[in-house]
């Protein structure tokens, strides 16, 4: 397959669940509503959204677990609906949490799951175990593994046999800070050293910010925003300005720089401003020249968290909120 073909391409994916039994028979739930996205080779793509937004349903449709109501998913150019086995040969994945036969050893589990993909050599299993740092524990029963070890084993099972795309659903879910850091380092290593493309869903926005080069935020079954992370940062990251006279500063920014996206924090002297095309140094100089005491001037911390919350906790439609970011 050509490198020009996106490794994962989702077009107009929709899933409507219909209640078949009991109260409310016939009622419809539109879990995913026309999602489209592309994951290019080499991407680490973050797929974000609150619980119930449709992330897992999208991932399940991408992996052929759920049949879409409409839309199309292709992996390395293979249509998941019609060429499912060819498509899945390119993928290593775990959905929601890695699951294992707990009465078998880690090694046996890997042998079984890799066997379903056509089989691997013992050396390949050993290499995958070493890569995720489970050497020495591979012959223990999975029931005695810690949560972190199971996550690592899940990652090892994704690596067998030789996928091009890793699909990881909440890989850091339930891990302690050390585990989260280790998992992040592992994913980065797999992407950089082994050249794997990664599609991961997560709630840990700081992790996503550190890991991913592209993201999509999904809310109520629709993509609210997606793009390259630096591009989104330039578009949505605000600057924090702390001054003695926030009202005067706001008026100056509106008149002199024509800035509209300004938020005043209640009971504080801080403004959060989307500078758009304005240069931060020019804005700072203008405030100082106007006689305003600028105590703090810098890029907003946790901008992705804020964007996520803005998009996912508002009653406004995510699309209209996303449109407020100045290009």
Partner 1 sequence: MNSPANSTFWAFLRFETVKMFHRRITWVPFGVIVIVVALVVAVFHYSDFKTQLTFLKAMNLPVKEKKDFVNGYLMAVATLNPVSQILLPLFIAVAAGLMIAGEAEGGTLRACLIRPVSRTRLILGKFIVLGGYGLLLSYFYLGLVLTAGLINFGRGDLYLLNVFFNNGREGYAVITPDEAPYRFLLAGLLLACGMMVLASLAILVSALSRTAAMAYVISLSIYNIFLTLRALQFLEWLYPYLFVTHMLRWQQCFSENVQWGEIYVSLVHLAAYLAVFLCSAVLLFEEKDVTS
Rule CB under 8 A: choose which of 97, 213, 248, 317 binds partner 1. 97
Rule CB under 8 A: choose which of 5, 16, 81, 95 binds partner 1. 95
For 227, residues 6+ apart whose C-beta sits below 8 A from its C-beta are 214, 215, 235
Beta bridge mates, 215: 46, 227
**Residue count, binding to partner 1 (CB under 8 A):** 35
Q: How far apart are CA 248 and CA 267, in angstroms?
A: 16
Three-state DSSP at 202 gives strand
Angle of helix 106-116 relative to helix 147-158, nearest 10 degrees, comes to 30
Rule CB under 8 A: choose which of 104, 127, 245, 286 binds partner 1. 104
Rule CB under 8 A: choose which of 6, 13, 45, 100 binds partner 1. 100
Rule CB under 8 A: choose which of 5, 16, 66, 245 binds partner 1. 66
Least Cβ distance, residue 80 to partner 1 (angstroms): 11
Asked if 22 is part of the footprint of partner 1 (rule: CB under 8 A), the reply reads no
Least Cβ distance, residue 203 to partner 1 (angstroms): 19
265, 255, 245, 235: which is closest to 326 by C-alpha?
235
Asked if 89 is part of the footprint of partner 1 (rule: CB under 8 A), the reply reads yes
Asked if 116 is part of the footprint of partner 1 (rule: CB under 8 A), the reply reads yes
Q: What is the 3-state secondary structure (H, E, C) of 9-52?
A: EEEEEEEEEECCCCCCCCCEEEEEEEEEEEECCCCEEEEECCCC
Least Cβ distance, residue 79 to partner 1 (angstroms): 14
Give how far Cα 307 sits from Cα of 22, 214, 232, 235, 238, Å.
39, 15, 10, 11, 10
**For the chain, how many helices (H) and strands (E)?**
12, 14
Shorter beta-carbon distance to partner 1: residue 101 or 176: 101
Rule CB under 8 A: choose which of 28, 96, 194, 282 binds partner 1. 96
Asked if 298 is part of the footprint of partner 1 (rule: CB under 8 A), the reply reads no
**Interface ranges with partner 1 (CB under 8 A):** 17, 60, 63-67, 84-86, 88-89, 91, 93-101, 103-104, 108, 111-113, 115-119, 121, 157
């Amino acid at each position: 397959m050509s490198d020009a073909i996106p490794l994962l391409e989702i077009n107009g994916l929709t899933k409507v669940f219909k209640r078949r039994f009991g109260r409310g028979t016939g009622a419809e739930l539109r879990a995913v509503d026309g999602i489209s996205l592309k994951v290019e080779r080499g991407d680490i793509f973050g797929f974000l959204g609150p619980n119930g937004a449709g992330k897992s349903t999208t991932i399940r449709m991408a992996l052929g677990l759920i049949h879409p109501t409409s839309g199309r998913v292709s992996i390395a150019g293979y249509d998941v609906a019609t060429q499912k086995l060819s498509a899945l040969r390119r993928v290593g994945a775990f959905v929601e949490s890695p699951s294992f036969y707990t009465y078998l050893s880690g090694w046996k589990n890997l042998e079984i799951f890799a066997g379903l993909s056509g089989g691997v050599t013992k050396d390949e299993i050993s290499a995958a175990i070493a890569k995720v740092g489970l050497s020495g524990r591979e012959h223990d029963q999975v029931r005695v593994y810690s949560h972190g070890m199971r996550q690592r084993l899940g990652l090892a099972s994704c690596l067998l046999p030789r996928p091009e795309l890793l699909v990881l659903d909440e890989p850091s879910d339930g891990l302690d800070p050390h585990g989260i850091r280790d998992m992040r380092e592992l994913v980065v290593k797999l992407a950089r050293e082994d050249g794997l493309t990664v599609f991961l869903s997560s709630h840990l926005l700081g992790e996503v910010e550190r890991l991913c080069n592209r993201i999509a935020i999904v809310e109520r079954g629709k993509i609210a925003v997606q793009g390259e992370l630096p591009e989104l940062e330039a578009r949505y990251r605000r600057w924090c300005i702390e001054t003695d006279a926030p009202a005067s500063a706001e008026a100056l920014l509106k008149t002199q720089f024509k800035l509209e996206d300004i938020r005043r924090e209640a009971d504080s002297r801080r403004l959060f401003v989307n500078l758009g095309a304005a240069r931060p140094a020019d804005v700072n100089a203008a405030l100082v020249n106007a006689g305003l005491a600028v105590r703090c001037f810098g890029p907003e911390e946790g901008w992705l968290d804020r964007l996520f919350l803005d998009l996912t906790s508002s009653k406004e439609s995510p699309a209209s909120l996303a449109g407020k970011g100045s290009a």
